[in-house]
Protein backbone atom coordinates (compact mmCIF):
# COMPACT_ATOMS: atom_id res chain seq x y z
CA UNK A 1 0.00 0.00 0.00
CA UNK A 2 1.03 3.62 0.23
CA UNK A 3 4.41 3.36 1.85
CA UNK A 4 7.61 4.73 0.44
CA UNK A 5 10.25 2.18 -0.34
CA UNK A 6 12.46 2.86 2.65
CA UNK A 7 12.16 1.46 6.14
CA UNK A 8 13.49 3.33 9.15
CA UNK A 9 15.37 1.05 11.52
CA UNK A 10 16.90 3.06 14.39
CA UNK A 11 19.73 4.95 12.69
CA UNK A 12 19.57 3.03 9.43
CA UNK A 13 17.49 4.01 6.46
CA UNK A 14 16.99 0.76 4.59
CA UNK A 15 16.16 0.81 0.90
CA UNK A 16 13.58 -1.94 0.49
CA UNK A 17 14.55 -2.85 -3.07
CA UNK A 18 18.25 -3.20 -2.31
CA UNK A 19 17.49 -5.19 0.84
CA UNK A 20 15.28 -7.63 -1.08
CA UNK A 21 17.92 -7.94 -3.76
CA UNK A 22 20.56 -8.77 -1.14
CA UNK A 23 18.29 -11.38 0.47
CA UNK A 24 17.60 -12.83 -2.98
CA UNK A 25 21.31 -13.09 -3.79
CA UNK A 26 21.85 -15.20 -0.70
CA UNK A 27 18.91 -17.49 -1.42
CA UNK A 28 19.43 -20.84 -3.16
CA UNK A 29 16.34 -22.86 -3.95
CA UNK A 30 17.02 -26.43 -2.81
CA UNK A 31 13.74 -27.98 -3.96
CA UNK A 32 13.09 -28.40 -7.67
CA UNK A 33 9.36 -27.87 -7.17
CA UNK A 34 9.97 -24.24 -6.12
CA UNK A 35 9.89 -22.80 -9.61
CA UNK A 36 9.87 -19.08 -8.80
CA UNK A 37 11.19 -17.65 -5.55
CA UNK A 38 11.92 -14.02 -4.65
CA UNK A 39 11.55 -11.40 -7.36
CA UNK A 40 8.05 -11.50 -8.78
CA UNK A 41 4.55 -10.51 -7.68
CA UNK A 42 4.11 -14.06 -6.35
CA UNK A 43 6.11 -17.24 -5.87
CA UNK A 44 5.30 -20.43 -7.83
CA UNK A 45 5.65 -24.00 -6.52
CA UNK A 46 4.67 -27.25 -8.19
CA UNK A 47 2.42 -29.30 -5.90
CA UNK A 48 1.31 -32.57 -7.50
CA UNK A 49 -0.03 -31.74 -10.96
CA UNK A 50 -0.73 -28.09 -10.17
CA UNK A 51 1.24 -24.92 -9.75
CA UNK A 52 0.61 -23.01 -6.53
CA UNK A 53 0.91 -19.23 -6.94
CA UNK A 54 1.36 -17.52 -3.57
CA UNK A 55 2.02 -14.01 -2.29
CA UNK A 56 2.23 -12.20 1.04
CA UNK A 57 1.95 -8.58 2.20
CA UNK A 58 2.13 -6.82 5.53
CA UNK A 59 0.38 -3.52 6.29
CA UNK A 60 1.14 -1.42 9.34
CA UNK A 61 -0.78 1.47 10.85
CA UNK A 62 0.92 4.82 10.28
CA UNK A 63 3.02 3.43 7.41
CA UNK A 64 0.45 1.95 5.04
CA UNK A 65 -2.79 3.37 6.38
CA UNK A 66 -4.10 6.11 8.64
CA UNK A 67 -7.14 5.15 10.70
CA UNK A 68 -8.17 8.79 11.14
CA UNK A 69 -9.54 8.80 7.59
CA UNK A 70 -9.62 5.14 6.57
CA UNK A 71 -12.89 3.41 7.48
CA UNK A 72 -12.08 -0.08 8.85
CA UNK A 73 -14.42 -1.76 6.38
CA UNK A 74 -12.54 -0.11 3.49
CA UNK A 75 -9.23 -1.16 5.05
CA UNK A 76 -10.38 -4.78 5.18
CA UNK A 77 -11.49 -4.62 1.54
CA UNK A 78 -8.27 -2.99 0.37
CA UNK A 79 -6.06 -5.42 2.32
CA UNK A 80 -7.60 -8.29 0.36
CA UNK A 81 -7.72 -6.48 -2.99
CA UNK A 82 -4.06 -5.39 -2.93
CA UNK A 83 -3.09 -9.05 -2.50
CA UNK A 84 -5.47 -10.26 -5.22
CA UNK A 85 -3.74 -7.81 -7.54
CA UNK A 86 -0.38 -9.59 -7.05
CA UNK A 87 -1.89 -12.96 -8.05
CA UNK A 88 -3.69 -11.39 -11.04
CA UNK A 89 -0.28 -10.03 -12.13
CA UNK A 90 0.80 -13.69 -12.56
CA UNK A 91 -2.24 -14.23 -14.87
CA UNK A 92 -3.93 -16.35 -12.19
CA UNK A 93 -7.10 -15.88 -10.08
CA UNK A 94 -6.65 -16.51 -6.35
CA UNK A 95 -8.93 -18.87 -4.41
CA UNK A 96 -7.74 -18.72 -0.80
CA UNK A 97 -6.59 -16.17 1.73
CA UNK A 98 -5.19 -16.21 5.29
CA UNK A 99 -5.24 -13.06 7.42
CA UNK A 100 -3.16 -12.43 10.54
CA UNK A 101 -3.82 -9.44 12.76
CA UNK A 102 -1.90 -7.71 15.55
CA UNK A 103 -4.63 -5.68 17.25
CA UNK A 104 -3.77 -2.44 19.05
CA UNK A 105 -5.11 -1.50 22.50
CA UNK A 106 -7.37 1.22 21.07
CA UNK A 107 -9.37 -1.34 19.06
CA UNK A 108 -12.28 -3.41 20.36
CA UNK A 109 -14.03 -6.45 18.89
CA UNK A 110 -16.53 -4.31 16.97
CA UNK A 111 -13.67 -2.49 15.26
CA UNK A 112 -12.12 -5.79 14.21
CA UNK A 113 -15.46 -7.10 12.94
CA UNK A 114 -15.95 -3.89 10.96
CA UNK A 115 -12.57 -4.62 9.30
CA UNK A 116 -13.85 -8.16 8.54
CA UNK A 117 -16.98 -6.76 6.86
CA UNK A 118 -14.62 -5.41 4.21
CA UNK A 119 -12.65 -8.66 4.10
CA UNK A 120 -15.82 -10.71 3.58
CA UNK A 121 -17.13 -8.34 0.92
CA UNK A 122 -13.85 -8.58 -1.05
CA UNK A 123 -13.85 -12.38 -0.64
CA UNK A 124 -17.42 -12.50 -1.98
CA UNK A 125 -16.75 -10.12 -4.88
CA UNK A 126 -13.62 -12.00 -5.98
CA UNK A 127 -14.80 -15.53 -5.17
CA UNK A 128 -12.16 -16.25 -2.53
CA UNK A 129 -12.32 -18.31 0.69
CA UNK A 130 -10.87 -17.00 3.93
CA UNK A 131 -9.21 -20.17 5.25
CA UNK A 132 -7.26 -19.04 8.31
CA UNK A 133 -4.80 -16.65 9.88
CA UNK A 134 -3.56 -15.69 13.31
CA UNK A 135 -4.59 -13.17 15.98
CA UNK A 136 -2.36 -11.40 18.45
CA UNK A 137 -2.03 -8.00 20.10
CA UNK A 138 0.17 -5.07 19.23
CA UNK A 139 1.81 -2.56 21.58
CA UNK A 140 1.93 -0.09 18.72
CA UNK A 141 -0.48 0.17 15.79
CA UNK A 142 -2.83 -2.21 14.01
CA UNK A 143 -0.88 -4.61 11.77
CA UNK A 144 -2.33 -6.80 9.02
CA UNK A 145 -0.52 -9.65 7.31
CA UNK A 146 -2.16 -11.35 4.35
CA UNK A 147 -1.17 -14.54 2.53
CA UNK A 148 -3.01 -15.29 -0.68
CA UNK A 149 -2.82 -18.10 -3.17
CA UNK A 150 -4.31 -19.59 -6.26
CA UNK A 151 -3.36 -22.49 -8.51
CA UNK A 152 -2.94 -23.14 -12.21
CA UNK A 153 -2.80 -26.48 -14.01
CA UNK A 154 -1.03 -25.20 -17.11
CA UNK A 155 2.49 -24.01 -16.30
CA UNK A 156 2.60 -22.02 -19.56
CA UNK A 157 -0.30 -19.76 -18.53
CA UNK A 158 1.67 -18.21 -15.66
CA UNK A 159 3.24 -14.85 -16.57
CA UNK A 160 6.41 -13.50 -14.94
CA UNK A 161 8.25 -10.16 -14.80
CA UNK A 162 11.47 -11.40 -16.38
CA UNK A 163 10.30 -12.51 -19.82
CA UNK A 164 9.72 -9.24 -21.76
CA UNK A 165 11.48 -9.18 -25.17
CA UNK A 166 12.75 -6.39 -27.41
CA UNK A 167 9.97 -5.31 -29.78
CA UNK A 168 7.12 -6.23 -27.41
CA UNK A 169 4.50 -3.53 -26.87
CA UNK A 170 3.86 -2.14 -23.38
CA UNK A 171 0.20 -1.91 -22.33
CA UNK A 172 -1.68 -0.88 -19.22
CA UNK A 173 -5.22 -1.38 -17.97
CA UNK A 174 -7.30 1.48 -16.53
CA UNK A 175 -6.00 4.89 -15.58
CA UNK A 176 -3.33 6.20 -13.26
CA UNK A 177 -2.57 8.79 -10.59
CA UNK A 178 -6.05 8.83 -9.01
CA UNK A 179 -5.21 6.90 -5.83
CA UNK A 180 -2.24 9.16 -5.06
CA UNK A 181 -4.35 12.30 -5.46
CA UNK A 182 -7.12 10.74 -3.35
CA UNK A 183 -4.55 10.32 -0.60
CA UNK A 184 -3.49 13.97 -0.93
CA UNK A 185 -7.13 15.06 -0.51
CA UNK A 186 -7.59 12.85 2.57
CA UNK A 187 -4.34 14.14 4.10
CA UNK A 188 -5.39 17.71 3.39
CA UNK A 189 -8.77 17.23 5.09
CA UNK A 190 -7.03 15.56 8.04
CA UNK A 191 -4.74 18.57 8.49
CA UNK A 192 -7.69 20.95 8.30
CA UNK A 193 -9.49 18.86 10.92
CA UNK A 194 -6.44 18.81 13.24
CA UNK A 195 -6.26 22.62 13.09
CA UNK A 196 -10.04 23.13 13.20
CA UNK A 197 -11.62 20.18 15.04
CA UNK A 198 -15.09 21.70 14.59
CA UNK A 199 -14.85 21.38 10.79
CA UNK A 200 -16.28 18.55 8.70
CA UNK A 201 -14.30 16.97 5.86
CA UNK A 202 -15.32 18.19 2.41
CA UNK A 203 -15.01 15.24 0.08
CA UNK A 204 -18.06 15.70 -2.17
CA UNK A 205 -16.14 16.88 -5.22
CA UNK A 206 -13.49 14.21 -4.97
CA UNK A 207 -15.47 10.96 -5.18
CA UNK A 208 -13.40 9.43 -7.98
CA UNK A 209 -9.93 9.92 -6.52
CA UNK A 210 -10.98 9.20 -2.92
CA UNK A 211 -12.61 5.95 -4.06
CA UNK A 212 -9.45 5.01 -6.01
CA UNK A 213 -7.52 5.47 -2.74
CA UNK A 214 -9.94 3.90 -0.26
CA UNK A 215 -11.69 1.24 -2.34
CA UNK A 216 -9.46 0.01 -5.16
CA UNK A 217 -10.36 -3.03 -7.26
CA UNK A 218 -8.03 -5.73 -8.59
CA UNK A 219 -8.02 -6.56 -12.32
CA UNK A 220 -8.88 -10.27 -12.24
CA UNK A 221 -11.20 -9.46 -15.17
CA UNK A 222 -8.03 -9.12 -17.27
CA UNK A 223 -7.05 -12.72 -16.45
CA UNK A 224 -10.45 -13.77 -17.88
CA UNK A 225 -9.94 -11.49 -20.90
CA UNK A 226 -6.56 -13.03 -21.76
CA UNK A 227 -8.02 -16.52 -21.43
CA UNK A 228 -11.01 -15.70 -23.64
CA UNK A 229 -8.87 -14.15 -26.37
CA UNK A 230 -6.04 -16.69 -26.04
CA UNK A 231 -3.51 -13.94 -25.36
CA UNK A 232 -0.48 -14.62 -23.22
CA UNK A 233 1.39 -11.45 -22.21
CA UNK A 234 5.16 -11.83 -22.46
CA UNK A 235 5.50 -10.26 -18.98
CA UNK A 236 3.25 -8.62 -16.40
CA UNK A 237 3.33 -6.72 -13.07
CA UNK A 238 0.70 -5.00 -10.97
CA UNK A 239 1.21 -1.27 -10.63
CA UNK A 240 1.29 -0.64 -6.89
CA UNK A 241 4.24 1.79 -6.82
CA UNK A 242 3.59 3.91 -9.96
CA UNK A 243 4.20 3.17 -13.64
CA UNK A 244 7.87 4.25 -13.53
CA UNK A 245 8.98 2.01 -10.74
CA UNK A 246 6.95 -1.03 -11.80
CA UNK A 247 7.88 -0.80 -15.51
CA UNK A 248 11.51 -0.57 -14.43
CA UNK A 249 11.05 -3.79 -12.42
CA UNK A 250 9.96 -5.53 -15.65
CA UNK A 251 12.91 -4.02 -17.54
CA UNK A 252 15.56 -4.89 -14.95
CA UNK A 253 14.20 -8.44 -14.42
CA UNK A 254 13.97 -9.03 -18.18
CA UNK A 255 17.28 -7.27 -18.92
CA UNK A 256 15.68 -4.97 -21.50
CA UNK A 257 15.10 -1.24 -21.96
CA UNK A 258 11.94 0.64 -22.94
CA UNK A 259 10.52 3.75 -24.59
CA UNK A 260 7.19 5.03 -23.35
CA UNK A 261 5.31 8.15 -24.45
CA UNK A 262 4.02 10.56 -21.81
CA UNK A 263 1.11 11.47 -24.12
CA UNK A 264 -0.11 7.83 -24.01
CA UNK A 265 -0.43 7.54 -20.23
CA UNK A 266 -4.13 7.30 -19.34
CA UNK A 267 -5.28 9.71 -16.63
CA UNK A 268 -8.97 10.14 -15.71
CA UNK A 269 -10.52 13.61 -16.23
CA UNK A 270 -11.46 13.71 -12.52
CA UNK A 271 -7.81 13.02 -11.64
CA UNK A 272 -6.66 15.88 -13.89
CA UNK A 273 -9.15 18.27 -12.24
CA UNK A 274 -7.91 17.40 -8.73
CA UNK A 275 -4.25 17.60 -9.85
CA UNK A 276 -4.85 21.12 -11.17
CA UNK A 277 -6.54 22.16 -7.94
CA UNK A 278 -3.67 20.78 -5.81
CA UNK A 279 -1.04 22.14 -8.19
CA UNK A 280 0.42 18.68 -8.72
CA UNK A 281 1.44 17.51 -12.19
CA UNK A 282 -0.97 14.66 -13.03
CA UNK A 283 1.77 12.85 -14.96
CA UNK A 284 4.05 12.89 -11.91
CA UNK A 285 1.18 11.39 -9.98
CA UNK A 286 0.58 8.71 -12.66
CA UNK A 287 4.28 7.85 -13.05
CA UNK A 288 5.39 8.03 -9.43
CA UNK A 289 2.25 7.83 -7.27
CA UNK A 290 1.05 4.45 -6.16
CA UNK A 291 -1.82 2.12 -5.36
CA UNK A 292 -3.69 2.26 -8.65
CA UNK A 293 -3.60 -1.57 -8.71
CA UNK A 294 -3.86 -1.67 -12.49
CA UNK A 295 -1.82 -4.15 -14.55
CA UNK A 296 1.12 -3.33 -16.80
CA UNK A 297 2.01 -6.00 -19.36
CA UNK A 298 4.03 -6.55 -22.49
CA UNK A 299 2.73 -8.41 -25.55
CA UNK A 300 3.64 -9.43 -29.05
CA UNK A 301 2.71 -6.55 -31.44
CA UNK A 302 0.23 -8.83 -33.28
CA UNK A 303 -2.26 -8.13 -30.46
CA UNK A 304 -2.13 -4.33 -30.89
CA UNK A 305 -5.45 -3.79 -32.67
CA UNK A 306 -7.55 -6.04 -30.43
CA UNK A 307 -6.10 -4.52 -27.25
CA UNK A 308 -6.67 -0.95 -28.44
CA UNK A 309 -10.19 -1.84 -29.54
CA UNK A 310 -10.89 -3.24 -26.05
CA UNK A 311 -9.76 -0.02 -24.36
CA UNK A 312 -6.26 -0.90 -23.13
CA UNK A 313 -3.61 1.81 -23.49
CA UNK A 314 -0.39 1.23 -25.38
CA UNK A 315 2.42 3.20 -23.71
CA UNK A 316 5.34 2.28 -25.98
CA UNK A 317 7.70 -0.61 -26.62
CA UNK A 318 10.44 -2.75 -25.12
CA UNK A 319 13.96 -1.92 -26.38
CA UNK A 320 17.43 -3.36 -25.91
CA UNK A 321 18.90 -3.18 -22.41
CA UNK A 322 21.67 -0.83 -23.54
CA UNK A 323 19.08 1.69 -24.84
CA UNK A 324 17.97 2.27 -21.23
CA UNK A 325 14.48 3.05 -19.91
CA UNK A 326 13.14 6.26 -21.46
CA UNK A 327 10.09 8.47 -21.52
CA UNK A 328 9.34 10.63 -24.57
CA UNK A 329 7.85 13.98 -23.61
CA UNK A 330 5.21 15.99 -25.52
CA UNK A 331 7.99 17.96 -27.30
CA UNK A 332 9.57 14.63 -28.40
CA UNK A 333 12.47 15.09 -25.98
CA UNK A 334 13.68 11.72 -24.64
CA UNK A 335 14.36 11.54 -20.89
CA UNK A 336 15.54 8.72 -18.71
CA UNK A 337 12.65 7.15 -16.80
CA UNK A 338 13.67 7.64 -13.21
CA UNK A 339 12.28 5.21 -10.70
CA UNK A 340 10.87 7.20 -7.82
CA UNK A 341 8.28 4.76 -6.49
CA UNK A 342 6.15 5.94 -3.63
CA UNK A 343 7.49 9.19 -2.21
CA UNK A 344 4.77 10.51 0.00
CA UNK A 345 5.03 8.96 3.44
CA UNK A 346 8.07 9.29 5.63
P1 LIG B 1 4.92 -6.38 -4.54
O2 LIG B 1 5.13 -4.89 -4.51
O3 LIG B 1 4.52 -6.91 -5.85
O4 LIG B 1 4.06 -6.89 -3.39
P5 LIG B 1 7.41 -6.62 -3.20
O6 LIG B 1 8.20 -5.46 -3.68
O7 LIG B 1 6.74 -6.56 -1.87
O8 LIG B 1 6.37 -7.03 -4.32
O9 LIG B 1 8.33 -7.92 -3.19
C10 LIG B 1 9.14 -8.25 -4.29
C11 LIG B 1 9.69 -9.66 -4.08
O12 LIG B 1 10.49 -9.73 -2.91
C13 LIG B 1 8.62 -10.73 -3.89
O14 LIG B 1 9.07 -11.91 -4.53
C15 LIG B 1 8.57 -10.92 -2.38
O16 LIG B 1 8.11 -12.20 -2.01
C17 LIG B 1 10.03 -10.73 -2.01
N18 LIG B 1 10.26 -10.24 -0.63
C19 LIG B 1 9.86 -9.07 -0.08
N20 LIG B 1 10.27 -8.95 1.19
C21 LIG B 1 10.96 -10.09 1.48
C22 LIG B 1 11.64 -10.58 2.64
N23 LIG B 1 11.68 -9.87 3.77
N24 LIG B 1 12.24 -11.80 2.57
C25 LIG B 1 12.19 -12.53 1.42
N26 LIG B 1 11.58 -12.11 0.30
C27 LIG B 1 10.97 -10.92 0.31
MG1 LIG C 1 2.98 -6.60 -7.10
- Cα angle value 332/337/343 (rounded, 5°): 130
Instruction: Please tell me the number of the ligand nearest to residue 219's CA.
Output: 2
**Reduced to 3 states, what is the DSSP secondary structure of residue 157?**
helix
Average of pLDDT values for 270-297? 95
pLDDT in tens, 289-325: 999 999 999 999 999 999 999 999 999 999 999 999 9
Share of the chain above pLDDT 90, in %: 86
In words, the CATH class of domain 169-336 is alpha beta
d(CA 193, CA 105): 24
Closest CA to ligand 1's atom 4:
41
Inform me whether the pLDDT recorded for 217 exceeds 80: yes
Average of pLDDT values for 323-332? 94
Residue 40 CA, closest ligand 1 atom number: 14
Question: CA-based Rg of the chain, rounded to a whole angstrom?
Answer: 20
Inform me whether the pLDDT recorded for 6 exceeds 90: no
In the chain, where the domains are located = 24-157, 169-336
pLDDT in tens, 55-108: 999 999 999 999 999 999 999 999 999 999 999 999 999 999 999 999 999 999
Which residues touch 320 (CB under 8 Å, ≥6 apart)? 166, 256, 257
Average of pLDDT values for 26-48? 96
Share of the chain above pLDDT 70, in %: 94
* 105-108 CB contacts, 8 Å cutoff, 24+ apart: 105/137, 105/139, 107/142
Inform me whether the pLDDT recorded for 341 exceeds 80: no
CA of 142 to the centre of ligand 2 (A): 22
Q: What is the CB < 6 Å shell around ligand 1?
A: 20, 23, 38-41, 57, 86, 240
Ligand 1: residue of 7, 38, 60, 293 to mutate (most ligand atoms within 8 A of CB) is: 38
55 and 185 Cβ atoms separated by less than 8 Å? no
Closest CA to ligand 1's atom 8:
41
Dihedral-angle region of residue 215 (phi above 0 means left; psi in -120 to 50 means alpha; beta otherwise)? beta
- Specify the pLDDT at position 59: 96
Q: Looking at the domain 24-157, which fold is it?
A: 60s Ribosomal Protein L30; Chain: A; (3.30.1330)
Amino acid sequence: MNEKKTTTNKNNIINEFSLISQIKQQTNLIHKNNIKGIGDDAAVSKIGDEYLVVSKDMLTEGIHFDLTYTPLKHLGYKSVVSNISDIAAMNVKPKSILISLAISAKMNKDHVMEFYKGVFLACKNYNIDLIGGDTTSSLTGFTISVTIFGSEKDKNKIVYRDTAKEGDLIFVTGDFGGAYLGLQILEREKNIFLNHPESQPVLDNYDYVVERQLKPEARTDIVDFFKKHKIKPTSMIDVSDGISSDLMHICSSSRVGCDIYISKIPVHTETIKVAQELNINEMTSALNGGEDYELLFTVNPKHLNLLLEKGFSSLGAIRKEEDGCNIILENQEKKSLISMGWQNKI
